[in-house]
C-alpha cells in the first residue's frame, strides 16, 4: 500500500509540509509506505502542448516529472498539498498538474490504472475555510478528469500565516492524521 505526497509549498517545514507529514503518519500507522516529492526542489517544466503523449503514451519532456509519473503509477493513492497563493494553488503544483495531461489517451479517456484515490490539503492565511472552495474544486476536477477515483473530503487549514502555525493547531494535526488513515482504509 503506497501513498505519493506532492508538496506544492516552497516552505519546507511550513504548514503544508507539517500537515502532509501528519497525513503520512496516519497512512503509515495503517501499514502503508509514503513517497514524498517537494516540488519546489525538483527540476520541473510545464506542459509544452506538443501532444506527443497522445501519440506515444509518454510525456516528451524529460525532467523530474518522470519520477512523479513512476511513483503515481505504482501508488494506491496520492495526497496533494498546497498553500493558497493569490486565491489558487502554487505555480510549482500547477506545473505538475498540467503534466498529468499525459495520462489522457488520444480519445481523452484515462490511461491511469483505476481506483487511485486522492486527498487534498490546502492551507491559507484567511480565516474562512470556504473562501477558496472554487480553487479546490478546480483541482479536484483536474484529478477526476485524468482518471483518479473519487477524493476524500479536502482538508483546509485556514487562519495559518506563520510557518509554524499548523504545528500548533492540534485539531488540524488530528484531521490530517485522520485523512492519512482514511486514504489507507480506502485502499485496503
Ligand X SMILES: Cc1cc2nc3c(=O)[nH]c(=O)nc-3n(C[C@H](O)[C@H](O)[C@H](O)COP(=O)(O)O)c2cc1C
| Distance from chain centroid for Cα 153 | 13
The least distance separating ligand X from the CB of residue 11, rounded to whole angstroms, comes to: 3
Considering beta carbons, is residue 32 or 83 the nearer one to ligand X?
83
Give every CB contact of residue 62 below 8 A, 6+ residues apart in sequence: none
* Chain residue whose CB lies nearest ligand X: 14
The least distance separating ligand X from the CB of residue 115, rounded to whole angstroms, comes to: 29
What are the backbone dihedrals phi and psi of residue 111, each rounded to the nearest 5 degrees, phi first? Answer: -95, 0
How does DSSP classify residue 152? P
Considering beta carbons, is residue 9 or 65 the nearer one to ligand X?
9
Considering beta carbons, is residue 69 or 85 the nearer one to ligand X?
85
Considering beta carbons, is residue 75 or 84 the nearer one to ligand X?
84
Q: Which residues bind ligand X (CB under 6 A)?
A: 9, 11, 14-16, 83-87, 123-126, 160-161, 163
The least distance separating ligand X from the CB of residue 124, rounded to whole angstroms, comes to: 3
- In the chain the first and final C-alpha atoms are separated, in Å, by 8
Tell me the chain's radius of gyration from C-alpha atoms.
16
* Rounded distance between C-alpha atoms, residue 116 and residue 98, angstroms: 18
Amino acid at each position: 500500500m503506497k501513498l505519493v505526497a506532492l508538496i506544492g509549498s516552497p516552505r519546507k517545514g511550513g504548514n503544508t509540509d507539517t500537515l502532509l507529514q501528519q497525513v503520512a503518519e496516519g497512512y503509515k500507522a495503517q501499514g502503508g509506505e509514503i513517497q514524498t516529492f517537494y516540488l519546489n526542489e525538483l527540476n520541473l517544466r510545464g506542459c509544452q502542448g506538443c501532444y506527443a503523449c497522445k501519440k506515444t503514451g509518454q510525456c516528451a519532456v524529460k525532467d523530474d516529472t518522470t519520477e512523479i509519473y513512476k511513483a503515481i503509477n505504482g501508488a494506491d493513492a496520492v495526497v496533494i498539498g498546497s498553500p493558497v497563493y493569490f486565491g489558487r494553488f502554487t505555480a510549482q503544483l500547477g506545473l505538475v498538474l498540467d503534466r498529468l495531461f499525459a495520462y489522457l489517451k488520444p480519445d481523452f479517456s484515462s490511461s491511469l490504472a483505476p481506483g487511485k484515490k486522492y486527498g487534498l490539503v490546502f492551507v491559507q492565511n484567511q480565516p474562512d475555510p470556504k473562501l477558496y472552495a472554487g480553487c479546490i474544486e478546480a483541482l479536484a476536477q483536474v484529478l477526476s478528469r485524468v482518471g483518479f477515483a473519487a477524493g476524500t473530503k479536502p482538508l483546509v487549514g485556514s487562519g495559518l500565516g506563520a510557518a509554524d502555525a499548523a504545528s500548533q493547531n492540534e485539531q488540524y494535526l488530528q484531521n490530517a492524521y485522520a485523512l492519512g488513515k482514511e486514504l489507507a482504509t480506502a485502499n485496503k
